[in-house]
Structure 1
Amino acid sequence: MAQHAMPERGARLGRASGANGSGSTVTGVVLLLPGRPRLSPLSPGPVRPLARALTRAGGGAGLATHLVHGADGCQEWAADEVVRRYGDVPVCLAGYGAGGVTALRGAGHPAVNSVLALAPCLPEGASDGSPEPVKQLAGRQVLIVHGTNDACTDPELSFRLAARAKKANRSTCRFEVHSDGHGLREHRAEVVALAVDFILGAVLGNRWSRPVQDALAAPPPLGLRMPLASGFGRSLRG
């Protein structure tokens, strides 16, 4: 019998929205990792609108979305819990800020097939001088989104991480949101639309939009500095 990691103190999954909430069969799961777990888990950042958009766009096709409550590092327990509840379904770790770093670091769990990191708060470097690990991203589909005016964390750190990840994993891309800050507020609709497009493709097998396809196919640095076009969501609906 498979052994499951014990939850960190206070760790739990929020109530499912989407497929499980509507009684549909779950075919894929998104675990949302908020950036400030000690404060309101749905603020700040794009986590709340992303959860709503995923429910609308993917719930009918079997996508279930859970908010992960708990300390950093509980993503392994959360992924184990998904396997226990739903069986062998693909999992996307989607995080904002500190949660984006947690998502990137937790990609090695065997149930995880994709990672979305929104404005990840990457450290300048470890105390021993070693770079942020990327080995765990191999074989996963990875999207990083970062505002160019982020005053909380240097966007160049996520570019450097993406460049190292791309060498071992071609399925890595990164979009830049020009003139936007850490909260990704100025172009929130476009950021959410991009995130939904990526997740539906990675988890449910939907066809990605042309910009995502181009970003994944382009060699660095082009596919790692892909500008997020104004009106991205509207262009998809049109």
Structure 2
Amino acid sequence: MTGHQALSWRVRPEAPTAAVLVLHGGQETNERAPGPVNLPGLRMRGFVRAVARETAGAQVAVGVVRYRHRGWNGSRADAARDAAAALNDLAEELGPVPTVLIGHSMGGRAALRAAGHPSVTGVVALAPWCPESDPAGQLDGRTLLTLHSDADKVTDPGATRRFAAQARAAGAHVAGYTVHGSDHALLRRSRDWHHATAHLTGGLLGLRPLPTEVTTALTLAPTSPDGLDLPLPRRG
């Protein structure tokens, strides 16, 4: 990681008491560095703005993870390594503040993989890439909230539900939403994606109550299959 700054702040209060890190998507294999016009990163700007509004005045730092490479790149798991490096930088700068990770697609996979970091208390995974071989034990004691479109043609919503069940069995507190009529790029129903992610993040940080259906799902038994396919309400 020499010479690479993995963490970039978007909101940085003087004395933060909590933090949110946003991780954008990428590709399965690509060793090139992200360019100045990085569509996956641009896609997450709406989420950063929504979270900044949700946490305004609450002394919450909001940052983004900067990748060295566009791809995951097999066993190298480059995006997960960058997420871990950003979390280490965060802890060194802010101390052990509770941190929520928000990740889309490859960024969702990286967030799930990095969730074992001592600072991480929760993950909001947006259309995450969840290969069957990925571990879930690192989420023990954390809260995992997933959102996935039923019409996603890039990552599999069924794989997300399977991973969520494995995480619950491993000791995580889990709830999952299905975003009906959306897509992998988070463009259709974008306001619903932004609103839900910001409000769920606020709930994980203790700034607002979580929705009743989420609170119920988080208390279910480790073997329960329920609460992983909740319909995300439409705004307006």
Query: Shorter-chain TM-score: which interval?
Result: 0.7 to 0.9
Counterpart residue identity of residue 12, structure 1: A
- 1:43 paired residue among 40, 44, 52: 40
Which is worse superposed, 91-100 or 163-172? 163-172
Residue 99 of structure 2 aligns with an amino acid whose one-letter code is V
1:136–1:91 CA distance, 2 compared to 1 (3 A): same
Q: CA deviation at 1:113?
A: 0.8
What TM-score, normalized to structure 1? 0.82
Between the aligned residues of both structures, percent identity stands at 31
What CA distance in whole angstroms lies between the structure 2 residues aligned with 1:185 and 1:64? Answer: 26
- Aligned ranges 1:6-17 → 2 under 5 Å: 7=1, 10-17=4-11
Which residue identity does 1:122 align to in structure 2? C
Compute the displacement of 1:230 (Å).
1.1
Unaligned segments of structure 1, at least 5 residues: 1-6, 126-130
Q: CA separation of 1:41/1:107 partners in 2, compared to 1, >3 Å: closer, same or farther?
A: farther
Q: Is residue 104–residue 128 contact of structure 2 (8 Å, CA) maintained in 1?
A: yes
Q: Within 1, Cα distance between the matches of 2:103 and 2:59? A: 21
Secondary structure of 2:154 counterpart? coil
Q: Tell me whether 1:81 sits opposite 2:60 in the alignment.
A: no
Other-structure match for 1:99: 107
Equivalent-residue separation in structure 2 for 1:99 and 1:183 (angstroms): 13
For 2:41 and 2:153, the matched residues in 1 are separated by 15
Q: Match for 1:56 among 53, 57, 74?
A: 53
Deviation at 1:42, TM superposition (A): 5.7
Letter in 1 for 2:91: V
Alpha-carbon RMSD across the aligned residues, in angstroms, is: 2.1
User: Could you tell me how far 1:63 is from its partner in structure 2?
Assistant: 1.1
Could you tell me the TM-score, scaled by structure 2's length? Answer: 0.83
The code of the aligned residue for 1:38 comes to: P
Contact conserved, 1:118 with 1:144, CA < 8 A, in 2? yes
* 8 A Cα contact 1:93 1:112, kept in partner: yes
For the 8 Å contact 1:41–1:69, the answer to whether it is kept is no
Give, as a single letter, the amino acid of the residue that structure 1 aligns with 2:47.
L
AA aligned opposite 2:95:
G
Partner of 2:161: 159
Q: Which residue of 1 aligns with 2:23?
A: 33
Match of 1:66 among 63, 66, 76: 63
Distance 1:69 1:8, change over 3 A: farther
Question: Is the aligned partner of 1:225 residue 2:221?
Answer: no
Match in the other structure for 1:4:
none
CA contact (8 A) 1:143 1:172 kept: yes
TM-superposed deviation, 1:80: 1.0
Structure-to-structure mapping, 1:101-116, within 5 angstroms: 101-116=109-124
Gaps of 5+ in 2: 27-32, 69-78
Give the counterpart of 1:212 among 173, 196, 214: 214
Q: Distance in 1 between matches of 2:39 and 2:218?
A: 29
Give 1:211 shift. 3.4
Assess, with a 3 A threshold, how the Cα gap between structure 1 residues 169 and 94 changes in structure 2: closer, same or farther.
Answer: same
How far is the alpha carbon of 1:141 from its aligned partner? 0.8
